[in-house]
Amino acid sequence: MSETELPPAPQRYPTVPWATLMGRALQLKCPRCGQGAMFNGPLSTLERCSNCHLKYERAPGYFLGSIYINYALTAFAITVTYIVLHFGFRWSNTQLAFPLAGFCCVFPALAFRHTRALWLAMDCHSDESLMEIDDPEEN
């Protein structure tokens, strides 16, 4: 290749619309191809997609941002539930304390996988390089 020639453009998966990415995340599927599973257990994220070989955890601490999503969903659910039950149904703070505290402990654990999938889907939307076809042998 001479100095004036450009290297070939990388092959890419087609750009995926935002709604499709979110749908794949809610189904716990690979955001790039929509085929491979992201998890092989309740808390165990696979290293790569079995179909397109997208590396899920790009760097140590990559999924830290999913904690913010989890926190926001928990805080929103607690706030709405408190307002509805306290002001709509006249439950006292004493009646609400135990159930809402229990929700704060259980919901984040149940939402763990979905918030990780949402984080990766949002990253695929904002970083187009994740849609490039890579050779799994290189990584």
139: pLDDT strictly greater than 60: no
- Whole-angstrom distance, CA of residue 63 vs CA of residue 115: 9
pLDDT at residue number 118: 98
User: How many degrees, rounded to 5, is the angle at CA 65 between CA 59 and CA 66?
Assistant: 105
Query: pLDDT digit string (tens) for 73-100?
Result: 999 999 999 999 999 999 999 999 999 9
Q: Does residue 137 fall inside a structural domain?
A: no
Q: Does residue 69 fall inside a structural domain?
A: yes
Q: What is the DSSP letter of 39?
A: B
Domain count, the chain: 1
- Whole-angstrom distance, CA of residue 103 vs CA of residue 106: 5
Which residue range forms the structural domain that includes residue 35?
Answer: 18-131
Q: Does residue 90 fall inside a structural domain?
A: yes
125's tokens: 């939307």
Is the distance from CB of 49 to CB of 138 less than 8 angstroms? no
Q: Does residue 56 fall inside a structural domain?
A: yes
List % helix, strand, coil for the chain (3-state, nearest 5).
Answer: 50, 5, 40
Q: Does residue 2 fall inside a structural domain?
A: no
Query: pLDDT digit string (tens) for 8-64?
Result: 767 888 889 999 999 999 999 999 999 999 999 998 999 999 999 999 998 999 999
- Whole-angstrom distance, CA of residue 137 vs CA of residue 139: 6
53's tokens: 């070989």
Q: Does residue 30 fall inside a structural domain?
A: yes
Q: Does residue 27 fall inside a structural domain?
A: yes
pLDDT at residue number 92: 98
1: pLDDT strictly greater than 60: no
Q: Does residue 112 fall inside a structural domain?
A: yes
2-9 mean pLDDT:
70
